[in-house]
Amino acid sequence: MKVLIYSPARSAMQSGLGKTTYWLIECEAASSRNPEPLMGWSSSQDTLNQVKIKFPSKEAAIAHAEREGWNYTIAIDHQRKVKPRNYGDNFKYIPPENA
């Protein structure tokens, strides 16, 4: 079974870092999604793509995938870059550069 190991990004409606400190294992889809003829919802024959397993660290997720014998792919973890700034920096005068 192929799985994806990743750390979820924060949602667009979220300003803090909640729900982004853990790692997930998610099964990759084995079959394509097709629209259901009656209601038009997307359906799939594979129900494993609904399963997500949480882990406190990337190493724990990798250890679990190796213990189960799964082929895994690790997504790149995007770390937030914060530039430390003071309120006074908003009013600091920066002279123009002469060319």
SS3 label, residue 87:
helix
In the chain, what are the domains? Answer: 1-9+20-29+48-77 (3.30.160.190)
Residue 54 pLDDT > 90: yes
Mean pLDDT of 39-66: 88
Q: What is the pLDDT of residues 1-11, one digit of tens each?
A: 899 999 988 77
pTM, two decimal places: 0.69
The pLDDT value recorded for residue 71 is 94
SS3 for 25?
strand
Is the predicted pLDDT of residue 74 greater than 80, yes or no?
yes
d(CA 71, CA 53): 15
Give the Cα-Cα-Cα angle 10, 11, 15 (nearest 5 degrees): 70
Of the candidates 33, 37, 48, the residue with the CA atom closest to the CA atom of residue 2: 48
- Percent of the chain scoring above 70 in pLDDT: 99
Q: Given this model, what pLDDT does residue 99 score?
A: 61
